[in-house]
Structure 1
Amino acid sequence: MWIREPVFLIDIIPNINDIDELGHVNNAVYVRWLEQCARQHSNQLGLTLSVFQQLDRAMAVIRHEIDYLASSYSGNLLQMATWITDMDKLRVTRQFQLINQQTGQTILQAQTVFCCIQMTTGKPKRMPQKLVMCYEPALTR
């Protein structure tokens, strides 16, 4: 069961390369999936790499908080949801939930904080109005 109504979803099927020596999806793979989900959601909001390059801005991760609640395995049918739960002129906070679609079990819950940076310097910079206008409609509290 979703912790809130999904705003954006991706389907994931772990493959053999995602599995570690313990026989389940490696914890580092989940971080890759969080990034993939956030990137695809941003793309859907109109914030593609080319837009970020034109604005000389990008959203860089400054904090991941992940609760691993269950394991997943090769071939599981998973779905990851993301929500933007907070934002200001510098940061965006996303919440994530990963569910095993076969069992309904939540595999993980996570929160990631992103900071807007100037791509050419790597330093924090306020979000241009274009970023704010794209992210605001997706904000859920």
Structure 2
Amino acid sequence: METVFTIEVMPDDLDLLNHVNNGVYVSYLEHARMNWFDQMGIDIKGMVSKKLGIMVRRLEINYIKEAILGDKLQIKTKPARLGHTSFTFEQKISNDQGDLITEATAVIVMIDLNERRSITVIDEIGQYFIAAPTATS
């Protein structure tokens, strides 16, 4: 299920060129992913209390167009792929005129917080993702 998270560009988000700093997009994307979990009813804090966690393994961002002060950005977050110990989100950021600003792919790993190692993605999360094809012999 795809979700949409809206955020407005604030003065602290800008760099010396008066557009959103590239690092700020990482925060925008993170907020949108956390919103996705909330919308799916997945309690991340509850997982942590059970010593389960998630962490970003890889984040690829394609910056297409600048965002400026006052822009209202819509961030679409969509589950894309389920691996054994990881899952992938596809995200797109558009401005209020509908222009595509940024595209991103985030690979997230499921971890055991006691062992500090990757584990199988729990069903509570995995049910929303399309399983990756498996290799055949």
Shorter-chain-normalised TM-score: which range? 0.7 to 0.9
Q: CA deviation at 1:138?
A: 5.5
Distance 1:78 1:9 in 2: 10
Specify the alignment match of 1:106 in structure 2.
100
For structure 2, which runs of at least 5 residues remain unmatched after alignment? Answer: 133-137
Q: Does 1:122 align with 2:113?
A: no
- List aligned pairs for 1:89-100, cutoff 5 A: 89-100=84-95
- The answer as to whether partners of 1:84 and 1:140 remain within 8 angstroms in 2 is no
Query: C-alpha displacement at 1:140, in angstroms?
Result: 9.7
Q: Which residue of 2 aligns with 1:86?
A: 81
Q: Verify the 8 A CA contact 2:37 2:44 in the aligned structure 1.
A: no
Are 1:137 and 2:134 an aligned pair?
no
TM-score by length of 2: 0.87
Give % identity.
Answer: 23
Residues 1:30 and 2:21 are matched in the alignment: no
Count of residues paired in the alignment: 132
Name stretches of at least 5 consecutive residues in structure 1 with no aligned partner. Answer: 1-5
AA of the residue aligned to 2:103: Q
